[in-house]
Structure 1
C-alpha cells in the first residue's frame, strides 16, 4: 500500500501509513524504506528525503542507506537543480564509509557545472579521485560538462592538460571535443588535436562520424594536404564515410588523388 500511495502521489497518506506500521510494532524493511524514499524524492521536499535517510541510518541493520540508495537520492536532487545540497550528501556517505560510485560523481560534476558551480566541481574531483573513481573518468566528465555550458576556451585548456598529464580522456570526451572545435570553424585545430590524440593511442572507440566531419571540414576549408592524410588513414583503418558526407567529399574531388 505504501508503494500504491507513492505512485499515486499521495505522499502524506504514505507517510502516515508508514508511521502507523511502526506504531503497531511492524519494522519496515529496506524495500519499504526505499519505496517511501523514492516517492518523497519525486513528490516532496529534499528536506523530507534527508530526514528519511537519517532515520534509515538510525534504524541500522539492513535498512542503512547503501550506494544504490545514495545514487538515487543524489540524482533526484540534481534533477531538481539542488546539486549543492546533493554534494553535501557525500559527507553522510563518508561518515558511514560508503564510497561514491562513478554515476554519483559524474552526476554531481554535470549538475554543479550546469548550475554555475565550476569551482565546486573541480574541488569535488580533488576530493573523490582515487577513491573508487579514476582521474580520467572525473576529468572526462568535466570536459563534457564544460562543453555543455559553452565554456569552450576553458575546456580546450583542460583537455590539453589531460593529454600532457597522461589522464586518458574517454572516447566520448575525445569525440565531443573535436566536434565542438569543428563547429567553431577551427577545423585545422581539430585535425591537429586529432593527431595528438591518435599519437597517444586514445582513439580505440572514437565515434566514426568524427572522421567524416573532420574530412568534410578540411575539404571545405581547402586544407587538401591534411584532408588527403586523413583520407588515407581512414582507408587504412577501413573507416567508411557516412552519408551525406560521402557526396560532399566526392564533389570536393579529394579521394581521386589518393
Structure 2
C-alpha cells in the first residue's frame, strides 16, 4: 500500500519535485523505519511510475549507505529501462549486481533476454544466455523459448530449428511452446513438410502436442491447400492427418473444423469442403454451425443451391439446429431454382421451433 501511495504521489508531482519527497522521507526516518524500508519503497515506487533515472539515484544511495537492494526489487527494474532504450543504465545496473550483489537470478536474465529480443537485439539476448552459465545460473526452457520466438519473428527459422536441437542436446527438455512456435513459423512460410517433421519429432520426444499445436498445423495445411487428396500428392493419404487427429487422445476443438472447412470455401474448393465436413461428422470430430454456414453460403453464392440444400440436410441429420440466417439463405436459393415450397417449409419450421411468428 505504501508503494502504491508513493507511486501515485510521485506521478502527480512529477520528476522535478520528487527529490523533495525523497528528502522529506529520508529526514528523521530512523525514528519509525529502517534505511532499507524507506529506500526500497522509494525505488519500487519510482519504477512503478516509470521514472528509471530517479530509481537509479535511490539505487546509488542504497550503495552509499551500504544497503544491499532486494533481488525482487531489482528484477522489475530492467524492463522499464530497456523499454525506454536506456541501455547504458541497464549494463551499469547489471555490472553492479555481478560485482556487489544481489547476483542475478533466472528471472532477471529472462527479463533482459525478452527485453533485448523485443528491441531487435537478438544477438545480445543470445549472449546473455551463454553469460548466465558463467555466473552459475542455468538457462531454463523459457530462456531458450524466448530466443526461438525471436528467431522466428525475424524469419530466421533455420536458426530456431538449430537452437531447438541445441536445447534438446544440452539436457533442457523442450516444451510444447518450443514446438508450437517453430511449427507456426514454418506454416507461415508454407513449409508444411518441415512443420510436419517437427510435429512428429515432438511426439517422439514425448511432448504432448495440445490443441494449439493442432490448430497451427491444420491452419498451415489449409493455407497451403493440402487438405484432401492433395496431401503429399497421394490419394490414399487424402485424410491421413484427420484420421490421426481422431485417433489421438486429445480430440481437436471446433476451431480446427471451422478453420479447415472455411479455408477450403475461401479457396473455392467447395466439394472438398463438403467431403471434409462429412468425414468429420462421421468420425465424431466436433463441427460448429459456423463451418456449416460457411459452406451453405459458399454454395449459394456460386449458384449451387441444390448443393446448399444437401449441406442443410446433412446438418439436420446430425442433429444440428440451423440459425435463421441459414434458413433465410436457403429460402432465397431454393426460390431461384423453383423450389419455393421446400424453402418455405424450412423457414417456417425454423420460426415455429424458435417460438417466432
Partner of 2:208: 133
Q: How does 1:88-167 map to 2 (within 5 A)?
A: 88-130=162-204, 131-134=206-209, 138=213, 140-147=215-222, 150-152=223-225, 154-156=226-228, 157-158=230-231, 160-165=239-244, 166-167=246-247
The 8 Å contact of residues 11 and 39 in structure 1, kept in 2 or not, is answered as no
Q: Equivalents in 2 of 1:112, 1:56: separation in Å?
A: 30
**Aligned with 2:122 (options 22, 46, 59):** 46
Unaligned runs of 5+ in 2: 1-76, 232-237, 335-341, 347-357
User: Highest relative contact order (Cα 8 Å, sep 6+), 1 or 2?
Assistant: 1
RMSD: 2.9
Q: How does 1:241-252 map to 2 (within 5 A)?
A: 241=324, 243=325, 245-252=326-333
TM-score using structure 2 length: 0.60
Cα deviations across residues 100-143 of structure 1 (Å, max 9, x unaligned)? 23232122112123235444323322322242133986555222
Q: How does 1:199-238 map to 2 (within 5 A)?
A: 199-203=282-286, 206-219=287-300, 220-224=303-307, 226-233=310-317, 236-238=319-321
After TM superposition, the structure 1 stretch with the greater mean CA deviation from structure 2, 181-190 or 132-141, is 132-141
Q: Equivalents in 1 of 2:130, 2:197: separation in Å?
A: 26
The 8 Å contact of residues 9 and 39 in structure 1, kept in 2 or not, is answered as no
Q: 1:81 to 1:193 in 2, by over 3 A?
A: same
Say which one has the larger Rg: 2
After TM superposition, the structure 1 stretch with the greater mean CA deviation from structure 2, 189-198 or 221-230, is 221-230
**Aligned with 1:8 (options 84, 87, 102):** 84
Unaligned runs of 5+ in 1: none
Q: Equivalents in 1 of 2:305, 2:328: separation in Å?
A: 17
Aligned length: 248
Q: CA deviation at 1:167?
A: 4.9
